[in-house]
Structure 1
Amino acid sequence: MSVGLVIVSHSRKIAEGVVELAAQMAPDVVLVAAGEADDGDGPSRIGT
């Protein structure tokens, strides 16, 4: 059986941090981070 998780957050850094933590607890699980509002207008920011 294969397990995969997509971690979604309004902040890419939070999503990446959760993936890093989860990978330490479950190294055989495929984890992907998704997050951050990037509207192409200025610096990246937390979005909704």
Structure 2
Amino acid sequence: MTGQILSGVEPYIAARYQILVMTMVFSATGLTVFVFMYLLAKTNLSYLKSKN
């Protein structure tokens, strides 16, 4: 955002891009956590079933 403002872009537009980038980062993090937890649960359930 600072780089865009220093290069002459209006602060409103730079802030919109910053919000977009942060939304993409949060979405990617959430999706990664969801997939990790899903695979972890699937692995643990199959491990517990095979143990009994």
Greater share of residues in strand: 1
TM-score by length of structure 1 reads 0.35
The higher radius of gyration belongs to 2
Which structure dedicates a bigger proportion of its chain to helix? 2
